[in-house]
Structure 1
Amino acid sequence: MFKLVGMAVIFACVLGGFVMAGGQLMVLVQPVEVLIIGGSALGAFLQANPIRIFKIVLAKSPSMFKERFTHEYYTSVLCMMYEILNKARRDGLLSLEDELDDPNSSTIFSKYPDLLKDERLITFVCDYLRIMSMGSMAPHEFENLFDMEINSLKEELDHPAHAVNKVAEGLPGFGIVAAVLGVVVTMGMIGDGDKEALGHHVAAALIGTFLGILAAYGFFGPLSNLLEHDAKEELNVYESIKASMVAFSSGLPPALAAEFGRKVLMPGHRPSYKELDASIREATKR
């Protein structure tokens, strides 16, 4: 919601100020300038990044306008971890075999449909539960394995934000390219003596620079920051899962392991001890 408010403020202030200064809004409608700037930026993005990064950015961008990692989301993750670890302690790790082979029909995972949609998260949890069930592993070895995968995951999650940031840095330059081309067209018309047409083309050239700068600092720059923040919050979820599972492998009870996971979460969305305890009690009744 606040992201949409921010975009509305940008449009209101920039366009409102332009109109108040006596400008005409239709002058800003320059499809050719948009084509040059947008097409150049898209081409540079495709040239600099693998196609999977383009697909990730395309899929993630619309979701940036809603809160994906909410207080309830983190609570659900901790409750799910408690239930899984509690079953492992009560019935043994081998009792989770059916749950891990088909999470969609699992009695535990199916309680959390929003989490079940996140294939990477569920795969992450299942993989480490399988490793635990294969045999005894020292907690520090288990933690080292977590750290190596989380470091790789961080690089993967950070890449879209860096890619969009590079586009944001290049947009003012593409705006200048559009402006220069507009000036070239204008120079070619000087001999015609049509002052109105000359004025129109000069304005169009200047608008190219304006659009490039506005897109860079008003939209693509903030989008890269949103993607970066989203990556940090997603990584924090995996760090919380790691803390819970390492604590459990060290011999701590499931409730305390879930508490370890809770303390790792960022304070902004971290549930309190009482909230988590109440949510766990409610979940185990279902």
Structure 2
Amino acid sequence: MFLIIGFVVVLFMVFGGYVFAGGKMEIIVHALPFELMIILGGSVGAFVIANSMGVIKKSLSGMGRAFKGAKWKRQDYVDLLSLLFVLIKTMRSKGVVAIEQHIEKPEESNIFNNFPRIAADHHVVAFIADYLRMMTMNFEDPHQMEDAMDQDLERHHAEEHEPQHALQTMADGLPAVGIVAAVLGIIKTMAAINEPVEVLGRMVGGALVGTFLGIFLSYLMVAPIAGRFGQVLNEESQFFNIIKTVLISHLHGNAPQISVEIGRRNVPAQHQPDFAELEDALAELPPDL
């Protein structure tokens, strides 16, 4: 929503300022289709050359994610902490045998299915199940576990940010492609050097539209989307860091209530539940979990 508002403000301020200052839109409107064909077409072609199909698809979906914002909301963090509380409490009170059925087939687990938004995310469920499974295999050294999680998260972070970096690279190159369009416009103008000054002026103005569009699309369109996409990825990655924090705290021997409280304090500030809210959520958990 805010991205759309921002784009409306950009368009109004840039083109409105130009018109209010006495600029004529005729030259821009006339040159726009051809300049966009050169600049956007060339940039998209280079983007396809430089990236794999997987990165291209993720980049397209990433633009949508930039508009929608981060997936996880305040209630999702409460649910995550509640889920982890139940899992580590079950492991501590009933032993590893009791937890195996939930981590081997999480899609059939009443614990996971009590939190449907989390259960629907394959990556989150797999991350939790994989490291709980390692705990059942006596891999319980908190320092080794933390190192393993950090390496896993670093790999995941790098893979998730590939499409964001690709979009940023495209944004960085757009001004140069705009210059290419402008140079082509000047070549066209020089071929018509015998035309009257008024005609040449319009042709030079049309050529300069290419430079303008390259800079405009780069710094006021594509780069902000890439930047917002990066913010969304960073915020969503906190979900995995909280899982790591809670599980490592559990391996250090802390009680489930302490482990989830440590996790709560690592929730991003805008989504962080307060102590009482989390306590109420834990108290309201079904007794059969």
CA distance in 1, matches of 2:94, 2:6: 51
How far apart, in 1, do the equivalents of 2:107 and 2:9 lie?
43
Number of residue equivalences: 285
Report whether the alignment pairs 1:37 with 2:39: yes
Note the alpha carbon deviations across 1:195-230, whole angstroms, 9 max, x for none. 665444323211111111111111111122112212
Residues 164-221 of structure 1: CA distance to partner in whole angstroms, max 9, x if unpaired? Answer: 2211111111111111111111222233x36665444323211111111111111111
268-277 or 206-215: which moved more? 268-277
CA distance in 2, matches of 1:94, 1:44: 54
1:45-194 alignment runs, 5 A limit = 45-68=47-70, 69-191=72-194, 193=195
Distance 1:246 1:99 in 2: 19
Aligned to 2:271, what secondary structure does the other structure show? coil
196-205 vs 223-232, which moves further = 196-205
Gaps of 5+ in 2: none
* TM-score, with structure 1 as normaliser: 0.91
CA distance in 2, matches of 1:223, 1:10: 13
Q: Sort the Cα spacing of 1:26 and 1:241 in 2 relative to 1 into closer, same or farther, 3 A.
A: farther
Instruction: State the match for 1:20 in structure 2.
Output: 20
**2:270 aligned partner:** 268
SS at match of 2:241: helix
Gaps (5+ residues) in structure 1? none
Deviation of 1:125 (Å)? 0.9
Are 2:145 and 2:248, in contact at CA under 8 Å, matched by a contact in 1? yes
How much has 1:136 moved relative to structure 2? 4.5
Structure 1 residues 142-171: Cα deviation after superposition (integer angstroms, max 9, x where no partner): 112112212222222332222222111111
Amino acid at match of 1:15: F
- CA change 1:201–1:80 in 2 (3 A) is farther
- Confirm or deny: 8 A CA contact 2:139 2:145 kept in the other structure: no
The corresponding residue for 1:4 is: 4
Distance 1:202 1:116, change over 3 A: farther
| TM-score (norm. length: structure 2) | 0.90
Answer with 197-206 or 240-249: which moved more: 197-206
Would you say the 8 A contact 1:75–1:279 is kept in 2? yes
- 1:108 is paired with a residue whose SS is helix
Contact map agreement 1:245 1:257 (CA 8 A) in 2: yes
Matched-pair contact (CA < 8 Å) for 1:179–1:208: yes
Give the 3 Å change call, closer, same or farther, for CA 133–15 of structure 1 in structure 2: same
CA distance in 1 between partners of 2:10 and 2:55 (Å): 28
Contact 1:37 1:208 in 2 (8 A): yes
What is the aligned-residue identity percentage? 33
The residue identity in structure 1 corresponding to 2:160 is L
* Letter matched to residue 44 of structure 1: A
Q: 2:203 maps to what in 1?
A: 201
What is the aligned-residue RMSD (CA, Å)? 2.1
